[in-house]
């Protein structure tokens, strides 16, 4: 089969939120769709859910009555798996259990044509392992949608060891025709998104465990300083801790318990308690009818400085000098091998993965470190940490400076790498490993993270902005601080740091 056309029938197994969403995507593209679920009640709910979604579009004027009738007319309820026999593409979206999926798909394989493609929507299981249980593994691939499927654009096209290139090509073309953004990858634990995203949750959980700040404050830093759509804790609450923890545990086990992916005991306690997030009414946040959303902790007002000395090159934090001038602060430039700010005898610097206390103790002179921001001009919040033993008034000096620039200042405990910097460094490191190992390329890695989980910037593009050398330095300092293999630098990141080559320029030149 070279391409799917609207004349080809699509079968979807599993009528839950994901399965019914995938069915809706195929209906939108003009296909006849057969929807099956082993539970008749679930099938009825799935059909009703699709109809309800179209009725909402009808009420908003996004489709007309004829389009609604046409789409629902092309949707068929399958009374049994035998009704899927005419499908050119079968997509399963059932429980995340390899044995259950493989058993079902073996039965499906015996019903459909030899050239039919069998796709699994698994988010973390091995496509290779699933396909190996079937008679025609070459016709099996991963077709991983993100929930809600009709809304989120990304689809991961996952090739197992035996998947024919033509099968992956057909699925890629189909996803494009369905208005999606497809990316190709090899079958590896977590594929692209669920693997690269692990540090977003893992580092937040570790920061909470270290009592760097409370949940609401850490989320605010990731949102308002890092530019992420949601903080890690509110996102985990939305996903569901049972689901999020299970994916982390699956990737951890599949990656031979590499410490990079180690699940958090804090999250396990929530799962054990039944505090699964929004769906249970309680997680890191309380979602009860009388619950009050906790506010992030911000610093008290402090006086603005009259002048600031910019020493050396501030790198990614260079916009701070322009913001200071715009705020009426006199800015002096001084030569230095290290970029930093000096205000009334207090030295501030962008975190390099060391604590402010470490830097002050080794004679670096830095008493206050501040966090990475996606865009220092647009950021509404800046996080800082003050060294133990810092000069008197250091906190007020740093706070007053950033407040003068129009920023809300959040003071956290003096933890290595702060919040955004260590998160971005770990995301970039994981993304570099994905590229190094041939799972996918740099462009598709960043595209997947932007389109799949709404990151404000791809991790490798962010590494390019900060510079791979600086990211690698942050990781090296984190590794030295914690003494853990968790923070080891990916070989490709280390190479880019040594050669001062960005990820995307190299990738584009190679194509």
Q: Which of 263, 266, 265 is nearest to 247 (CA)?
A: 263
Question: What was the pLDDT predicted at 2?
Answer: 63
In this prediction, residue 465 carries a pLDDT of 97
pTM, rounded to two decimals? 0.93
49 annotated active-site: no
CATH 3.40.630.30 fits 307-411, yes or no: no
Domain 194-280 shares a fold with domain 420-510 = yes
**One of 8, 31, 92, 144 is an active-site residue; which one?**
144
CA angle 454, 456, 462 (to 5 degrees): 130
Which residue, among 187, 247, 119, has the nearest Cα to 438 in the 3D structure? 187
With cut-offs at 50, 70 and 90, classify the pLDDT of residue 215. Answer: very high
Q: What is the mean pLDDT of residues 93-117?
A: 96
Q: Give the full edge-to-edge strand order of the sheet including 181-186.
A: 75-77, 33-36, 10-13, 89-92, 117-120, 140-145, 154-159, 181-186
Q: Does the domain made of 194-280 have the CATH classification 1.10.1040.50? A: yes
Q: What is the mean pLDDT of the chain?
A: 95
Quote the CA–CA distance of 118 and 30 in Å, as a whole number: 20
Tokens of 174: 């189909």
In whole angstroms, give the CA distance from residue 35 to residue 23.
Answer: 7
Q: What are phi and psi of 227, to 5 degrees?
A: 80, 10
- The whole-angstrom separation of Cα 330 and Cα 243 is 52
How would residue 320 be classed by pLDDT, with cut points 50, 70 and 90? Answer: very high
d(CA 298, CA 399): 10
The question of whether 31 is a catalytic residue gets the answer no
pLDDT of amino acid 1: 53
Asked whether the predicted pLDDT for residue 26 surpasses 50, the reply is yes
Average pLDDT, integer, range 382-405: 97
* Cα R_g (the chain), whole angstroms: 25
Please give the average per-residue pLDDT across 20-42, as a whole number: 97
What's the rounded mean pLDDT across residues 160-188? 96
Q: What is the pLDDT of residues 443-491, one digit of tens each?
A: 999 999 999 999 999 999 999 999 999 999 999 999 999 999 999 999 9
Work out whether strand 330-334 and strand 117-120 pair parallel, antiparallel, or are unpaired.
unpaired
Strand partners, 182: 155
Based on the residue annotation, tell me whether 123 is a catalytic residue of this protein: yes
Alpha carbons 377 and 142: distance in angstroms, whole number: 41
The span from the CA of 424 to the CA of 373, in Å, is 10
C-alpha torsion 144→149→150→152, nearest 10? -80
Catalytic residue among 121, 159, 194, 441: 194
| Cα–Cα distance, 138 to 101 (Å, whole number) | 17
pLDDT digits (tens, 9 = 90+) for 234-286: 999 999 999 999 999 999 999 999 999 999 999 999 999 999 999 999 999 99
The dihedrals phi and psi of 10, each to the nearest 5 degrees, come to -110, 135
Q: Where are the domains of the chain?
A: 10-187, 194-280, 307-411, 420-510
For 226-241, the pLDDT digits (tens) are 999 999 999 999 999 9
Residue 143, both tokens: 């077709």
Residue 487 has a pLDDT of 98
CA 112 – CA 92 distance, rounded (Å): 14
Whether the pLDDT of residue 506 is over 80: the answer is: no
Task: Give strand pairing partners of 118.
Answer: 90, 140
| 3-class DSSP state of 458 | coil
| pLDDT above 70: residue 508 | no
Q: Is the Cα torsion angle 211, 214, 218, 221 positive or negative in sign?
A: negative
> What residues form DSSP beta bridges with 333?
310
Q: Which CATH number describes the domain made up of 420-510? A: 1.10.1040.50
Tell me: cis bond preceding 148? Omega within 30 of 0 counts.
Answer: yes
Q: In this predicted model, what pLDDT tens digit does every residue of 107-129 receive, in sequence order? A: 999 999 999 999 999 988 999 99
Q: Is 350 helix (H, G, I), strand (E, B) or coil?
A: strand
| Residue from 20, 49, 121, 123 carrying the catalytic annotation | 123
DSSP class of residue 286 equals B
> Which position among 156, 203, 311, 430 bears the catalytic label?
156
pLDDT at 424: 98
Average pLDDT over every residue of 172-196? 95
Is-catalytic flag, 156? yes
In whole angstroms, give the CA distance from residue 89 to residue 120.
11
Give me the CATH code for the 10-187 domain, please.
3.40.50.720
């Amino acid at each position: 089969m070279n391409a799917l056309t609207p004349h080809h029938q699509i079968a979807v197994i599993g009528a839950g939120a994901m399965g019914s969403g995938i069915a809706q995507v195929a209906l939108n593209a003009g296909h006849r769709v057969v929807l099956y679920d082993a539970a008749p009640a679930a099938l009825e709910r799935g059909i009703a859910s699709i109809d309800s979604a179209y009725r909402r579009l009808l009420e908003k004027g996004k489709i007309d009555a004829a389009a609604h009738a046409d789409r629902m007319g092309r949707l068929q309820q399958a009374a049994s798996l035998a009704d899927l026999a005419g499908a050119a593409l079968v997509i399963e979206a059932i429980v995340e259990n390899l044995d259950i999926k493989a058993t079902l798909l073996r039965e499906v394989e015996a019903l459909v044509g030899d050239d039919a493609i069998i796709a699994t929507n698994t988010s973390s299981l091995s496509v290779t392992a699933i396909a190996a249980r079937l008679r025609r593994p070459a016709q099996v691939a991963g077709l991983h949608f993100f929930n809600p499927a009709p809304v989120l654009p990304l689809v991961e096209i996952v090739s197992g060891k035996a998947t024919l290139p033509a099968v992956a090509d057909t699925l890629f073309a189909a996803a494009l025709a369905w208005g999606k953004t497809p990316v190709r990858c090899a079958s590896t634990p977590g594929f692209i998104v669920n693997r690269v995203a692990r540090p977003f949750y893992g580092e937040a959980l570790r920061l909470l465990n270290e009592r760097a700040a409370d949940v609401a404050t850490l989320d605010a830093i990731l949102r308002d300083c890092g530019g992420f759509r949601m903080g890690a804790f509110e996102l985990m609450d939305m996903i569901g801790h049972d689901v999020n923890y299970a994916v982390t545990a699956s990737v951890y086990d599949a990656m031979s318990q590499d410490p990079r992916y180690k699940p958090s005991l804090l999250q396990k306690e929530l799962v054990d308690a039944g505090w699964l997030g929004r769906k249970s009414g309680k997680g890191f946040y309380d979602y009860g009818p009388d619950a009050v959303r906790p506010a992030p902790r911000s610093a008290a007002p402090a006086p603005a400085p009259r002048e600031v000395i910019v020493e050396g090159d501030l790198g990614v934090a260079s916009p701070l000098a322009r913001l200071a001038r715009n705020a009426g602060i006199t800015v002096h430039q001084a030569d230095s091998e290290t970029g930093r700010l000096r205000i009334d005898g207090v030295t501030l610097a962008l975190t390099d993965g060391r604590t402010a206390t470490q830097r002050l103790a080794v004679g670096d002179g830095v008493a206050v470190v501040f966090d990475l921001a996606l865009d220092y001009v647009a950021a509404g919040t800046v996080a800082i940490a003050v060294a133990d033993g810092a000069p008197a008034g250091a906190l007020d000096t740093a706070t007053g400076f950033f407040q003068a620039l129009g920023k809300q200042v959040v003071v956290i405990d003096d933890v290595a790498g702060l919040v955004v910097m260590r998160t971005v460094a770990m995301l970039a490191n994981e993304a570099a490993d994905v590229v190094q190992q041939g799972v996918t390329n740099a462009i598709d890695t960043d595209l997947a993270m932007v389109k799949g989980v709404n990151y404000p910037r791809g991790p490798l593009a962010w590494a390019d902005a900060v510079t791979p050398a600086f990211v690698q330095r942050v990781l090296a300092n984190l590794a030295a601080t914690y003494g853990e293999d968790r923070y080891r630098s990916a070989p490709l990141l280390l190479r880019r740091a040594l050669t001062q080559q960005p990820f995307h320029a190299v990738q584009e030149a190679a194509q």
